[in-house]
Amino acid sequence: MWRRAEDLGFHSAYTYDHLSRRTFRDGPWFGAVPTLTAAAAATERMRLGTLVTSVKPRSPITG
């Protein structure tokens, strides 16, 4: 998806990092940092970022 967006001429792409979203509640949930890491590996020129980065109520070490 990221490579296709770059091929279509998009200069930047953003992902979200929210704690909950009703429409995504029953589907897979991907963290912003791993998602952007995969996007960076798949693209060459696109600028990447998050729309909003939420403070997580859990330890990043213990999950």
Instruction: For 1-41, write each residue's pLDDT tens digit.
Output: 899 999 999 999 998 776 556 666 676 777 788 889 999 99
* Sign of the dihedral through C-alpha 61, 17, 54, 19: negative
Q: Average pLDDT for residues 36-53, to the nearest whole number?
A: 90
The domain locations on the chain are 2-53
Q: What is the pLDDT of residue 42?
A: 95
Nearest-angstrom CA–CA distance, 2 and 11: 11
Q: What is the pLDDT of residue 20?
A: 58
Q: Is the pTM of this model over 0.85?
A: no
Q: What is the pLDDT of residue 32?
A: 83
Quick check: helix, strand or coil at residue 61?
A: coil
Nearest-angstrom CA–CA distance, 16 and 32: 6
